[in-house]
Amino acid sequence: MSQDKAFTMEVRDDGVAVITIDVPGESMNTLKDSFADEVGSLMNRLESDDSVKGVVFISGKPGSFIAGADINMIDGCENAVDAESLARKGQAMFDRIEQLNVPVVAAINGACLGGGLELAMACHVRVCTDNSKTALGLPEVKLGLLPGSGGTQRLPELVGVQQGLTMILTGKELRAKQALKAGLVTEMVPQSILLDVAVEHALKRKPKSTKPPLKGMSKVLEATRFGRDIIFKKAGEQAQKKAQGNYPAIDKIIQTVREGVERGREAGLDKEARSFGELAMTPESYQLRQIFFATTEMKKETGADGVKPDSVKRVGVLGGGLMGGGIAYVTAAKAGIPARIKDISEDGIRHALHYSYERLDKKVKRRHMRRAELEKTMLMLSGSLDYSGFERTDVVIEAVFEDLNLKQKMVADVEEHADESTIFATNTSSLPITQIAATAKRPEQVIGLHYFSPVDKMPLAEIITHPETSDKTIATTVSLAKKQGKTPIVVKDGAGFYVNRILAPYMNEAARLLLAGEPIEHLDKTLVKFGFPVGPITLLDEVGIDVAAKVAPVLVKELGDRFEAPDAFEKLINDDRKGKKNQKGFYQYGKGVKGKPVDTSVYSLLDIDPERNKSAEEIIDICLLPMLNEAAYCLQEEIIRSPRDGDIGAIFGIGFPPFLGGPFRYMDSQGLETIVNKLEKLSTERGERYTPAPLLKQMVENGWSFYQ
């Protein structure tokens, strides 16, 4: 086989042509524009060779079929016509595969996403492995796009309109069993016999097109125009409820699928290509693609240039609470590394073990994993009331109470009971790492590893360094966080680190607006409409009013008056309002509470007469600009290493609207001069805390931008 080609074909003695996909120099297969000629040459051979009885597409890379198309192709397009042409080229390539006169089988093991699934759906039969890594989906919506090579048409044909729309609108991936049940694959087999079974199918008759395996109400609804109208209407409502009209791809997806369902595939493909071209040029897709490029780039970095991480074979976790349980879970379930939990009580250990069991059991019930895998993962978790077993740990992650003396004692204990090379990682959210390491014998092995709650869902981890942290410690901790499924950013030690530091001013200004009379719903809905996943008052309830009250003075002490919190926390705490955790905060909680009603008694407690005074635009500026300004301060003080890290941290840590690209890309898009002018105006109206960061003023004077 030629080593410089991505698609190579070998015709077996039984007449089956096996086409192996193996992109040179890449760990995973991605489809590139240049491959069209390769596939075209193969199709020419297959169309003219009567001796070929069937075709099998299979990957030459372990654990990966095709992970999608190379997104760089879109960045190379100068306009919508170029992007539309790209889509039509992909459509034509897959049409030729589908139109072959012999059976064509996709043998799928591992990731089969985006253009990979579009290729597989152009085949007449799809066989997949029962590998836990096997996943099929069309995630283009996450890049502000729609599938451009036939996916909007073929997926609904195979699994039904309702299921197809759900998958395309959400980017949802189906595991092997789910794909089999939905009709997306024909057969699921062990990896060891994947090729053999695929060849068997290739030697059968070319199958006729089949209808999706619909049952019950789905079958009734999809059978009539009236029923399909209901499906499209509901799909749009559900998608926009979350997207708030900020993602143009959603309407385009619904229109394109509908075009194919009502007017036929040819019309649908035409609409798909035109929509793909239009979406590729939107600012939303541009920003979402930049996030993709940034996270891809970060996966290759160690956090310390030129330094390789040490291998982590065992992890210790101090504390069996919510954070400790979550850390142990991602260590065992995602990183595949044994975790030993130490707590002062057996109840704490039981709680931490149960935390993992609950999440694994849900996966089993949803057919995402087998019971045997659950049992294997649980065997990687153990607990102890003392430090027995910690002598074999490579990293110990501390998740105890936010008390400096306690954390310093944990450092001393680990240095006594663990190996001399063991890294001590503290999950503090507010205490300076420098102070925690102050009494350490080996301060170079002390580092911050700040997770966000809930640990198993939040994608970010802040790796916090102090002046004595070694590069080897940084690289090893970054590597561990990645294995745990996190996107880590390396930040310098300082009050609030990065994420909490930029969040605090945003929350403070929302609280000031509330105290000035803005209704809670108006504040929250305005910022959700802007693109945040939840509003600031809801977030305050979720984080915990008591937690916010404790963090505020720390930030003021370290960073100055611009972090001064409004005078409301004392009244709230005295009224035992901690938020969601004790079901008493700004919103109502508990049994019998429907929806998300405001607890209006909070208004009288805070002496507020709620009335809308500010427009949505004013609320956004008042709350958002201090966050942007603080992000600039963090870059100026080298708390973060780059605008890229600041954008990823804000998006993955606090849900900054992804389609806006993060604080730094957003400031660039608005124009730094505009940002500075708005800050100066608010500084005059609302106080010196809005004074623009020196870096912003300097950049405006020099005509710079964050991403030049």
Domains of the chain: 7-281 (3.90.226.10), 315-493 (3.40.50.720), 500-702 (1.10.1040.50)
Q: Residue 92: is it exposed, middle or buried by C-beta count within 10 angstroms (0-12/13-18/19+)?
A: middle
Catalytic residue, chosen from 173, 462, 509, 518, is 462
**611 — pLDDT class (breaks 50, 70, 90):** very high
Contact of 55 with 104, CB cutoff 8 Å: yes
Q: CA 387, 393, 398: angle at the middle one, nearest 5?
A: 65
| pLDDT per residue as tens digits for the range 396-406 | 999 998 889 99
Instruction: Express each pLDDT in 90-122 by its tens digit.
Output: 999 999 999 999 999 999 999 999 999 999 999
DSSP assignment string, 327-389: HHHIIIIIS---EEEE-SSHHHHHHHHHHHHHHHHHHHHTTSS-HHHHHHHHTTEEEESSSTT
Nearest to 319, CA basis, from 410, 249, 242, 243 = 410
The number of beta carbons lying within 10 Å of the beta carbon of residue 561 is 9
Pairing of strands 16-21, 7-11: antiparallel
Burial (CB count within 10 angstroms: exposed 0-12, middle 13-18, buried 19+), residue 251: middle
Q: Looking at the predicted structure, is the pLDDT value of residue 1 above 50?
A: no
* Ordered alpha helix ranges (H), 10-160: 35-48, 72-75, 80-98, 115-122, 151-159
Residue 129, pLDDT score: 97
- Which band of pLDDT confidence, cut at 50, 70 and 90, is reported for residue 3? low
Contacts of 484 (CB under 8 A, 6+ apart): 327, 330, 331, 334, 335, 461
Confirm whether 84 is a catalytic residue. Answer: no
46-65 burial by CB neighbour count: b if 16+ within 10 A, else e? beeeeebbbbbbbbebebbb
Cα-based angle 547, 551, 555 (whole degrees, multiple of 5): 165
Q: How far is CA 207 from the centre of its chain?
A: 38
- CB-count burial class (<10 Å; 0-12, 13-18, 19+) for 618: middle
pTM of the model: 0.93
Determine the straight-line distance between the first and last CA of the chain, rounded to whole angstroms.
43
The reported pLDDT for the residue numbered 2 is: 46
pLDDT tens profile 153-168: 999 999 999 999 999 9
How many Å apart are CA 575 and CA 351, to the nearest integer?
30
Contact 514, 361 (CB under 8 A): no
- φ/ψ (deg, to 5) at 639: -65, -40
Q: Give me the chain's average pLDDT, please.
A: 94
Q: Both tokens of residue 48?
A: 């003219």
Q: Report the pLDDT averaged over residues 300-305.
A: 94
Which residues have CB under 8 Å from 85's CB, separation 6+?
277
Tell me: pLDDT of 44 over 60.
yes
The predicted pLDDT at position 217 comes to 81
Measured CA distances, 552 to 331, 341, 557, 561 (Å) = 31, 31, 9, 11
**pLDDT > 60? residue 350:** yes
pLDDT band at 4 (very low <50, low <70, confident <90, very high): confident
pLDDT, mean of residues 633-649: 98
Does the structure show a pLDDT above 70 at 340? Answer: yes
pLDDT of 593 over the 90 cut: no
